[in-house]
Structure 1
Amino acid sequence: MSRTLPALRVTALAACLLTGAVLTHPALAATRAAAPSPAQQKLDRLADQFYVARAKFDPLLYATANGDSRYDDQIGMAISPVVRAKQFAQYHDQLRQLHMIARAQLPEKARLNYDILEFEINSQLDLEHFPEHLLPLNHFENVPSVLANYASGTGSQPLTTPAQYRAYLSRLNQLPAWIDQAIVNMKEGIRVGVVQPKAIVMKMLPQFQQLRSSTPEASIFYTPIKNLPAQFSAKDKEELTAAYRQAVERIGPALDSLCQFLESDYMAAARASSGYGDLPNGAAWYKARIKNNTNLALTPQQVHELGLKEVARIQRQLAELGPKLGYTGPANQLPQWVAAQDKFKPFHTEQEVLDAYRKIYATVDAKLPNYFSLLPKARLDIQLEPELTRATASDHYTPVAADGSHPGVFWAVVNDPAKYSNVGMTSLLLHEGVPGHHLHAALLKELPLPDFRKFYTEHPSAAAYTEGWALYCETLGREFGFYDDPAPYYGHLNDELLRAVRLVVDTGMHAMGWSREKAVAYAMQVLGYSEARATNQIERYMVWPGQALAYKVGALKILELRAKAQKALGPKFSYPKFHAVVMGDGTLPLPILEAQVDKWIASQK
Structure 2
Amino acid sequence: MTPPAAPRPVSPVDAVADAYVTTSARLNPVEATSLGVPGHERELTDFSPDAAAERAAAARSTLLALEGLASADAVDDVTGAAMRYALGLDVELHDAGERTRLLNNIASPPQQVVEVFDLMATDSEQAWDDVAARLAAVPASVASYVASLRSAAARGDVAAVRQVEAVIVQAQEVADPQRSAFTRLVRGADAQRVLGDDHPLRSDLERAADAARGAYADLARVLADELAPLAPQEDGVGRDRYTLWSRHHVGAALDLDETYAWGLEELARVQAEQAALAEQIAGPGASVADAAALLDADPARQLHDTAALQAWMQATSDAAIEALDGSHFDIPAPVRTLECRIAPSHTGVIYYTGPSDDFSRPGRMWWSVPHDVTSFSTWRERTTVYHEGVPGHHLQIAQAVFERATLNSWRRLAAWTSGHGEGWALYAERLMAELGFLDDPGDRLGMLDGQRLRAARVVFDLGMHLGLPAPAEVGDAWTPQSGWEFLRANVNMPESMLRFEYTRYLGWPGQAPSYKVGQRLWEQARDTARQSAAARGQVFDQRDFHARALALGSVPLAVLPGALAD
Residue 313 of structure 2 is aligned with which of 357, 381, 392?
357
Matched, 1:71 2:40: yes
The alpha-carbon deviation at position 249 of structure 1 amounts to: 4.4
| Percent sequence identity over aligned pairs | 23
Return 5+ residue gaps in structure 1 as ranges: 1-6, 9-13, 17-30, 278-282, 600-605
Corresponding residue of 2:530? 566
Corresponding residue of 2:297? 343
Matched, 1:487 2:442: yes
Corresponding residue of 2:270? 314
Secondary structure, counterpart of 1:405 in structure 2 = coil
Task: State how far apart, in whole Å, the 1-side matches of 2:61 and 2:273 are.
Answer: 51
Secondary structure, counterpart of 1:132 in structure 2 = coil
Corresponding residue of 2:473? none
Q: Structure 2 matches for 1:105-124, cutoff 5 A? A: 106-124=72-90
Task: State how far apart, in whole Å, the 2-side matches of 1:147 and 1:296 are.
Answer: 29
Matched, 1:496 2:451: yes
Compared CA separation, residues 317 and 367, structure 1 to 2 (3 A): same
Task: State how far apart, in whole Å, the 1-side matches of 2:87 and 2:375 are.
Answer: 45
Corresponding residue of 1:87? 55
Instruction: Give yes or no for contact 2:186–2:205 (8 Å, CA) kept in 1.
Output: no
Instruction: Give yes or no for contact 1:60–1:75 (8 Å, CA) kept in 2.
Output: yes
Q: Structure 2 matches for 1:30-49, cutoff 5 A? A: 31=6, 33=8, 40=11, 42-49=12-19
Instruction: Give yes or no for contact 2:246–2:253 (8 Å, CA) kept in 1.
Output: yes
The alpha-carbon deviation at position 250 of structure 1 amounts to: 3.3
Instruction: Give yes or no for contact 1:374–1:580 (8 Å, CA) kept in 2.
Output: no
Task: State how far apart, in whole Å, the 2-side matches of 1:352 and 1:140 are.
Answer: 26
Corresponding residue of 2:68? 100
The alpha-carbon deviation at position 396 of structure 1 amounts to: 0.9
Corresponding residue of 1:546? 510
Q: Structure 2 matches for 1:325-344, cutoff 5 A? A: 325-329=281-285, 333-335=287-289, 338=292, 342-344=296-298
Task: State how far apart, in whole Å, the 2-side matches of 1:219 and 1:398 are.
Answer: 20
The alpha-carbon deviation at position 316 of structure 1 amounts to: 1.9
Corresponding residue of 1:166? 129
The alpha-carbon deviation at position 208 of structure 1 amounts to: 1.4
Task: State how far apart, in whole Å, the 2-side matches of 1:310 and 1:557 are.
Answer: 14
Matched, 1:507 2:497: no
Q: Relative to structure 2, which stretch is displaced further, 548-557 or 81-90?
A: 81-90
Instruction: Give yes or no for contact 2:348–2:367 (8 Å, CA) kept in 1.
Output: no
The code of the aligned residue for 2:230 comes to A
Compared CA separation, residues 531 and 71, structure 1 to 2 (3 A): same
Residue 589 of structure 1 is aligned with which of 546, 556, 559?
556
The alpha-carbon deviation at position 131 of structure 1 amounts to: 1.4
The code of the aligned residue for 1:422 comes to T
Instruction: Give yes or no for contact 2:34–2:116 (8 Å, CA) kept in 1.
Output: no
The alpha-carbon deviation at position 180 of structure 1 amounts to: 1.9
Q: Relative to structure 2, which stretch is displaced further, 302-311 or 241-250?
A: 241-250
Corresponding residue of 2:433? 478
Task: State how far apart, in whole Å, the 1-side matches of 2:196 and 2:308 are.
Answer: 38
The alpha-carbon deviation at position 380 of structure 1 amounts to: 0.9
| Residues 376-425 of structure 1: CA deviation (Å, up to 9, x unaligned) | 52311111122xx21x2311111122233322111124446654222222
Matched, 1:380 2:342: no
Corresponding residue of 2:364? 409
The code of the aligned residue for 1:325 comes to I
Return 5+ residue gaps in structure 2 as ranges: 469-477
Corresponding residue of 2:95? 129
Instruction: Give yes or no for contact 1:148–1:220 (8 Å, CA) kept in 2.
Output: no
Corresponding residue of 2:173? 210
| Residues 425-483 of structure 1: CA deviation (Å, up to 9, x unaligned) | 221111001111111122122211211111136x4xx1111111111110122233123
Compared CA separation, residues 383 and 269, structure 1 to 2 (3 A): same
Corresponding residue of 1:523? 487
Corresponding residue of 1:55? 25
Residue 453 of structure 1 is aligned with which of 399, 411, 415?
411
Matched, 1:241 2:202: yes
The code of the aligned residue for 1:66 comes to L
Instruction: Give yes or no for contact 1:336–1:529 (8 Å, CA) kept in 2.
Output: no
Structure with the larger RCO, 1 or 2 (CA within 8 Å, 6+ apart): 1
Q: Relative to structure 2, which stretch is displaced further, 217-226 or 193-202?
A: 217-226
Task: State how far apart, in whole Å, the 1-side matches of 2:170 and 2:294 are.
Answer: 30
The alpha-carbon deviation at position 85 of structure 1 amounts to: 1.9
Corresponding residue of 1:27? none
Instruction: Give yes or no for contact 2:349–2:369 (8 Å, CA) kept in 1.
Output: no
Corresponding residue of 1:187? 150
Task: State how far apart, in whole Å, the 1-side matches of 2:197 and 2:447 are.
Answer: 53
Task: State how far apart, in whole Å, the 2-side matches of 1:76 and 1:91 are.
Answer: 17
Instruction: Give yes or no for contact 1:367–1:480 (8 Å, CA) kept in 2.
Output: no
Q: TM-score, normalised by structure 2?
A: 0.88
The alpha-carbon deviation at position 144 of structure 1 amounts to: 4.5
Compared CA separation, residues 292 and 336, structure 1 to 2 (3 A): farther
Residue 286 of structure 1 is aligned with which of 239, 242, 250?
242
The code of the aligned residue for 2:38 comes to S
The alpha-carbon deviation at position 286 of structure 1 amounts to: 1.4
Task: State how far apart, in whole Å, the 2-side matches of 1:413 and 1:339 are.
Answer: 24
The code of the aligned residue for 1:589 comes to P
The code of the aligned residue for 1:544 comes to W
Corresponding residue of 1:3? none
Secondary structure, counterpart of 1:275 in structure 2 = coil
Compared CA separation, residues 116 and 200, structure 1 to 2 (3 A): closer
The code of the aligned residue for 1:590 comes to L
The alpha-carbon deviation at position 217 of structure 1 amounts to: 11
The alpha-carbon deviation at position 595 of structure 1 amounts to: 1.3
The alpha-carbon deviation at position 365 of structure 1 amounts to: 2.2
Question: How many residues were matched structurally?
Answer: 547
Instruction: Give yes or no for contact 2:63–2:84 (8 Å, CA) kept in 1.
Output: yes
Task: State how far apart, in whole Å, the 2-side matches of 1:119 and 1:273 are.
Answer: 30
Instruction: Give yes or no for contact 2:37–2:357 (8 Å, CA) kept in 1.
Output: yes
Compared CA separation, residues 435 and 502, structure 1 to 2 (3 A): same
Compared CA separation, residues 341 and 197, structure 1 to 2 (3 A): farther
Corresponding residue of 1:24? none
Q: TM-score, normalised by structure 1?
A: 0.83
Corresponding residue of 1:603? none
Q: Relative to structure 2, which stretch is displaced further, 240-249 or 495-504?
A: 240-249
| Residues 507-555 of structure 1: CA deviation (Å, up to 9, x unaligned) | 1222117333222111112235554443221111122211112211221
The alpha-carbon deviation at position 215 of structure 1 amounts to: 9.8
Corresponding residue of 1:260? 221
The alpha-carbon deviation at position 489 of structure 1 amounts to: 0.9
Matched, 1:577 2:544: yes
The code of the aligned residue for 1:370 comes to S
Compared CA separation, residues 259 and 109, structure 1 to 2 (3 A): closer
